[in-house]
């Protein structure tokens, strides 16, 4: 699964100042002082998972007085890096930041070398990022209800872009079709930058794009924003009502969470969760994340585990029903 794109400069701009803040508010403990830890990012540098992972590594390393090395291990939609962490020693020295593929890859790929539910332990959700439904200005619809009516009247004639097969941008479109009884043509791209240009040019009709990519274009008027993909409004884009208001049951977000190998000591899991939650409450970090419509979370391991199970159920059922596969 392709890691969705994010404005790297927007997040990193000013980050150095926030990381220079004193760590006095963070708990200190014998673990992991004196040890070099590793945070595995199963995607290339500069994507959303990488940027959020580096932010957390800096803050936690500062809090603990230790060094956290960020290791990018991309490939197979995040499976290579995730498998490496699943097989790592459960000492707390190796952590993972992962995204939606944790819930979807087992259904998209013919075989995984790890079990996401059994081989990894949830720690905390770092952030939720909604997608935004945007349509070409050439399309004669100005609301989600009008889009549904138009799609029903023109089955198979609308095209929607995505950042690749199996991404949240793609699966948003599949879920929309299922819940509305419509049929559209999927056009996958290598990321959404080119898809956005084709949308502006009227070569595709719509896209459920990540909000950091879509929002500036929607506000500039080069495309028309119709609705947010999460079940509630985004504080960073309150002008867009949830698609769920028109299409009940529609709730999609890109999410980013910390995991550890199974059997990692509970004391370690609890410490990472507590200090990650404290880091996410830092006003400087919240400001940077808010600017990207990324909602800091910091929930409990149990809450993340329940969320993961719900995501597996939702996407597993949909992927099997529509027959999506990554070749």
pLDDT, residue 164, reads: 86
In the prediction, which pLDDT does 236 show? 82
CA-nearest of 207, 214, 196 to 135 is: 207
Burial of 302 (0-12, 13-18, 19+ CB in 10 A): exposed
Q: Mind listing the pLDDT tens digit for each residue in 21-79?
A: 443 333 444 778 788 999 999 998 877 888 899 999 999 999 999 999 999 999 998 99
User: Is the separation of the CB atoms in 230 and 210 below 8 Å?
Assistant: no
Who wins on pLDDT, 95 or 52? 95
pLDDT band at 8 (very low <50, low <70, confident <90, very high): low
Angstrom CA distances, 43 to 9, 99, 227, 278, stand at: 18, 10, 28, 25
Q: What is the pLDDT of residue 193?
A: 84
Task: Name the pLDDT band for 290 (thresholds 50, 70, 90).
Answer: confident
Domains of the chain by residue range: 8-129+254-322, 135-223
Q: Tell me what the mean pLDDT of segment 4-9 comes to.
A: 53
294 or 124: which leads in pLDDT: 124
Q: Give the pLDDT confidence score for residue 35 in this predicted structure.
A: 87
CB of 260 within 8 A of CB of 269? yes
- pLDDT category at 284 given cuts 50, 70, 90 is confident
Q: Do domains 8-129+254-322 and 135-223 have the same CATH topology?
A: yes
- Average the pLDDT over 105-118 and give the result: 94
Select from 3.40.190.150, 3.30.1780.10, 3.40.718.10, 3.10.20.30 the CATH code of 8-129+254-322.
Answer: 3.40.190.150
Using DSSP, state whether 177 is helix, strand or coil.
helix
102-106, 152-156, 189-193: range with lowest mean pLDDT: 189-193
Task: Give per-residue pLDDT as tens, 241-268.
Answer: 999 999 999 999 999 999 999 999 999 9
Longest dimension (CA), the chain: 65
pLDDT score at 11: 53
Q: 2 pLDDT exceeds 80? A: no
Mean pLDDT of the chain, nearest integer: 89
pLDDT greater than 90 at residue 122: yes
pLDDT tens digits along 9-25: 555 554 444 444 443 33
- Architecture, CATH, for domain 135-223: 3-Layer(aba) Sandwich (3.40)
pLDDT > 90 fraction of the chain, expressed in percent and rounded: 73
Question: What pLDDT, in 10s, does the model give residues 159-217?
Answer: 999 988 888 899 999 999 999 999 999 999 887 888 999 999 999 999 999 888 899 99
Residue 80 confidence (pLDDT) above 80:
yes
- CA distance linking residue 234 with residue 214, whole number of Å: 14
Residue 325 DSSP code: -
């Amino acid at each position: 699964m392709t890691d969705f794109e994010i404005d790297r400069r927007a997040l990193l701009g000013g980050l150095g100042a926030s990381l220079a803040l004193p760590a006095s508010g963070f708990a200190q403990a014998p673990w992991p002082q004196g040890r070099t830890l590793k945070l595995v990012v199963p995607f290339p540098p500069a994507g959303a998972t990488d940027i959020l992972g580096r932010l957390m590594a800096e803050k936690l390393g500062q809090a603990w007085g230790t060094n956290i090395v960020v290791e990018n291990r991309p490939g197979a939609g995040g499976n290579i890096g995730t498998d490496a962490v699943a097989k790592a020693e459960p000492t707390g020295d190796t952590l993972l930041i992962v995204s939606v593929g944790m819930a979807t890859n087992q259904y998209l790929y013919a075989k995984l070398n790890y079990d996401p539910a059994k081989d990894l332990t949830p720690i905390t959700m770092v952030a939720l990022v909604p997608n935004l439904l945007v349509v070409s200005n050439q399309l004669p619809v100005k609301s989600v209800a009008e889009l549904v009516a138009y799609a029903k009247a023109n089955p198979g004639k609308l095209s929607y872009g995505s950042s690749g097969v199996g991404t949240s941008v793609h699966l948003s479109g599949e879920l929309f079709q299922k819940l509305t009884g419509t049929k559209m043509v999927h056009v996958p791209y290598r990321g959404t930058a080119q898809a956005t240009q084709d949308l502006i040019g009227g070569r595709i009709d719509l896209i459920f794009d990540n909000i950091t990519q879509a929002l500036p274009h929607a506000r500039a008027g080069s495309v028309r924003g119709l609705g947010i993909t999460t079940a509630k409004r985004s504080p960073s884009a309150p002008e867009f009502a949830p698609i769920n208001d028109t299409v009940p049951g529609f709730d999609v977000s890109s999410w980013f969470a910390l995991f550890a190998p199974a059997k990692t000591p509970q004391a370690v899991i609890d410490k990472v969760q507590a200090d990650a939650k404290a880091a996410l409450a830092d006003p400087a970090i919240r400001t940077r994340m808010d600017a990207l419509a990324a909602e800091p979370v910091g929930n409990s391991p149990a809450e993340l585990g329940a969320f993961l199970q719900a995501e597996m159920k939702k996407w597993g059922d949909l992927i099997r029903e529509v027959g999506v596969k990554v070749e």
